[in-house]
């Protein structure tokens, strides 16, 4: 347990400013609870009463280059960072401007703050704020050590309630920050409840600081967040420690939650005695008394209250005068459309000098070599790029794709991570927002499941922040069968990523396409899921000559690998060579989509209208697989051109079986595909 400076008296704090901001927070809560929510102008409201003073004290300690990632009760921190009051109120009312232009709930905030600390986009999911903050902290270290930028003693701050300490995100960020010695301050504002559940259900002994007292690499500060002097002293000590030592700390302050979890919460689960005890700990009267001792007496306090009420009233008028986002703009900013986000992105190299037609050179190489060579070239040319994941360092990855990269580029740029996909992808989000180009690897497709929340949040970031923030990255994910199968290493399930708004999805079937798509992904402006099929990494069919150091392949451009006029076969990944073999002797268009988001609807529909038949083949399960989307589009837009029903050959709705004979019976085989071709051609 750290011992903060016992002589700290709070004289370093501008207490008048603290009082002004706390009173502002209280007045905004009051207006929402008493007027805006009853009038249904605000639909989701979370009071910060009781949490406000400590947050304000903390926010005033942040500066340019820092970043904070909060949660739904963090508005006082934003006020301390300087967020306009009309934005804060207007966002709650879903009006234009503000945090999201009405796309997201008002308490789910973000605040790009040039010249000050950014408030990173929060998530609506509890605990999801921790690992992106760890990623920002890692970017601080990376910029100092790799990019040789001037060390500004910056920090990352993350806020969470005591209930969030039970989440995987909390423990993942704690592991990352302590093992890597990152400048991350984890602030736990402990109000004793997670909605209605007391902290006895969340934390053994109800004190996360005590439980972590022996945690290696972590300095802990623990105390009362309602006492002005103690709170200011502990906050000063914690922030100073992280800045000066560039090492992590945990700050736990106990505070009361003076209202329900949200406006609708009546707190019937609390006794009258508990509620009275919480109000007895209200930091506002304590703050007023402390300010009175510092020549901010009753008249000054009343003047502050009057001034704050006027300012918040004006902000309300400004907010209510704002319109609602025009409905024709609701789909804007899902993907990059030419206008850079205010924070994040721009770390990829330019496309100048590239070409979209392959220029074959040398002997045929496998996909492993092709992918590794692109990573090596881009790492050499782009110091902002970092590759990381489980076992990607000295081992070179379980599929050998990153073999030798750490030896060449060093442990700061190609590094192993703890075994935690939430931490791998979440930290990538923070690094991307900080202006780096992260290339995280998930070892096998199935292992992406723990990172699902982060993947979703990254994809929606540009849209839900109205292009304030973006986190471009390339998430490499191997998957699919290889010699044998099993439910844990052989899943494809690409459709889940396609269904996440904001992600581009590439599924190359061969070395040439892998080169072009990966280089395009690394130089783009959106997050990309780059699927590396295990069966094709060293497959002889997938080998191709090197297509040139400047070869890029635009997303959404399919390729005909065989041409004919009797049937259109649409496929991707490991099914492409099987479809080619099955179509032997048949006049068929075989279309390799190469990317699923976006997919080349034009090429497919043009072919189907000419051949008048469509067969879709994929390795994923039949129900809800991406083939169903293609079939629906063909039925919608080319129904009158069809001479046979749209058909699919897929895996049955079962996990991938292990024994090779069982696997071969489940995965679409050349024989099954050929039988369906013959059926449709003869229809």
Question: Starting from the edge strand earliest in sequence, which strands make up the sheet with 588-592, in order?
Answer: 559-562, 588-592, 567-571, 614-621, 647-651
Would you give the distance in Å from CA 311 to the centre of its chain?
A: 35
| Catalytic site positions | 489
Q: How far apart are the first and last CA of the chain?
A: 78
Q: What gap in Å lies between CA 677 and CA 683, rounded to an integer?
A: 10
Q: Where do we find the tokens 């008493």?
A: 34
Which structure tokens are listed for 349? 């190299």
**CA dist., res. 606 & res. 611, Å (int):** 9
Q: How far is the C-alpha of 521 from the C-alpha of 216, rounded, in Å?
A: 38
Angstrom distances, CA of residue 480 to CA of 78, 427, 445, 483, 651: 45, 26, 8, 10, 12
CA 242, 248, 251: angle at the middle one, nearest 5? 80
231-235 long-range Cβ contacts below 8 angstroms, 24+ apart: 231/53, 231/54, 231/57, 231/283, 232/8, 232/10, 232/12, 232/13, 232/57, 233/4, 233/5, 233/8, 233/10, 234/4, 235/54, 235/57, 235/58, 235/61
Mind giving me the DSSP string for 61-93?
A: T--TT-EEE--TT-HHHHHHHT--HHHHHHHHT
CA count, 13 A, side-chain hemisphere, 373: 18
User: In 3-state terms, what secondary structure has residue 610?
Assistant: helix
159 phi/psi in degrees, rounded to 5: -110, 145
CB 181 within 8 A of CB 211: no
Q: How far apart are CA 559 and CA 285, in angstroms?
A: 70
What's the CA gap between 491 and 178, in Å, rounded? Answer: 33
Query: Which structure tokens are listed for 85?
Result: 């009051």
């Amino acid at each position: 347990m750290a011992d903060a400076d016992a002589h700290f008296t709070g004289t370093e704090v501008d207490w008048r400013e603290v009082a002004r901001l706390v009173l502002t927070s209280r007045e905004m809560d009051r207006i929402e609870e008493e007027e805006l929510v009853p009038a249904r102008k605000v639909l989701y409201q979370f009071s910060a009463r009781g949490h406000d003073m400590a947050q304000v004290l903390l926010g005033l300690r942040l500066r340019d280059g820092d970043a904070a990632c909060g949660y739904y009760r963090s508005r006082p921190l934003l006020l301390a960072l300087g967020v306009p009051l009309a934005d804060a109120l207007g966002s709650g009312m879903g009006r234009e401007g503000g945090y999201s232009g009405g796309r997201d709930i008002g308490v789910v905030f973000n605040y790009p703050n040039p010249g000050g600390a950014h408030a990173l986009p929060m998530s609506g999911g509890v605990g999801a704020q921790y690992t992106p903050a760890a990623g920002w902290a890692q970017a601080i270290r990376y910029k100092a050590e790799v990019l040789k930028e001037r060390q500004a003693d910056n920090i990352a701050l993350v806020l969470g309630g005591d209930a969030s300490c039970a989440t995987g995100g909390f423990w993942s960020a704690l592991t990352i920050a302590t093992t890597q010695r990152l400048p991350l301050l984890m602030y736990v504002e402990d109000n004793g409840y997670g909605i209605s559940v007391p902290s006895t259900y969340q934390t053994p002994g109800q004190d996360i600081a005590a439980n972590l007292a022996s945690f290696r690499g972590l300095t802990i500060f623990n105390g009362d967040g309602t006492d002005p002097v103690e709170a200011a002293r502990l906050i000063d000590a914690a922030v100073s420690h992280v800045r000066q030592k560039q090492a992590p700390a945990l700050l736990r302050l106990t505070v009361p939650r003076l209202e329900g979890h949200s406006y609708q919460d009546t707190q019937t689960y609390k006794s009258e005695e508990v509620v009275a005890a919480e109000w007895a700990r209200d930091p506002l009267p304590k703050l007023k008394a402390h300010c009175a001792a510092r020549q901010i007496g009753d008249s000054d306090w009343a003047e502050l209250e009057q001034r704050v009420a006027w300012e918040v009233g004006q902000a309300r008028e400004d907010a209510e005068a704002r319109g609602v986002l025009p409905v024709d703009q609701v789909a804007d900013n899902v993907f990059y459309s030419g206008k850079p986000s205010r924070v994040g992105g721009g770390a990829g190299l330019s496309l100048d000098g590239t070409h979209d037609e392959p220029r074959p050179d040398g002997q045929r190489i496998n996909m492993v070599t092709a992918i590794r060579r692109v990573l090596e070239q881009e790492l050499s040319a782009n110091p902002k790029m970092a590759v990381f994941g489980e076992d990607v360092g000295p081992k070179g990855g379980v599929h050998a794709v990153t073999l030798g990269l750490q030896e060449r580029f060093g442990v700061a740029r190609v590094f192993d991570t703890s075994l935690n996909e939430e931490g791998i992808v979440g930290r990538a989000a923070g690094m991307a927002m900080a202006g780096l180009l992260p290339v995280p690897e998930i070892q096998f497709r199935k292992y992406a499941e723990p990172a699902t929340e982060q993947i979703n949040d990254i994809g929606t970031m540009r849209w839900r922040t109205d292009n304030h923030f973006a986190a471009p990255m390339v998430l490499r994910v191997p998957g699919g069968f290889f010699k044998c199968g099993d439910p844990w290493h052989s899943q494809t399930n690409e459709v889940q990523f396609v269904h996440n708004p904001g992600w581009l999805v590439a599924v190359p079937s061969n070395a040439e396409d892998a080169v072009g798509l990966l280089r395009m992904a690394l130089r783009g402006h959106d997050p990309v899921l780059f699927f590396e099929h295990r069966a094709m990494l060293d497959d002889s069919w997938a080998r191709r000559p090197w297509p040139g150091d400047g070869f890029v392949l635009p997303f959404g451009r399919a390729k005909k690998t065989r041409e004919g006029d009797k049937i259109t076969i649409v496929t991707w990944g490991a099914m492409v060579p099987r479809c080619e073999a099955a179509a032997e002797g048949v006049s068929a268009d075989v279309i390799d989509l190469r990317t699923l988001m976006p997919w080349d609807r034009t090429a497919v529909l043009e072919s189907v209208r000419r051949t008048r038949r469509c067969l879709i083949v994929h390795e994923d399960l039949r129900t809800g697989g991406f083939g169903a989307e293609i079939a629906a589009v063909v039925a919608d837009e080319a129904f009158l051109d069809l001479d046979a029903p749209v058909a699919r050959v897929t895996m049955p709705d079962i996990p991938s079986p292990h024994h090779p004979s069982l696997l071969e019976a489940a995965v679409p085989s050349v024989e099954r595909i050929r039988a369906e071709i013959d059926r449709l051609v003869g229809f």
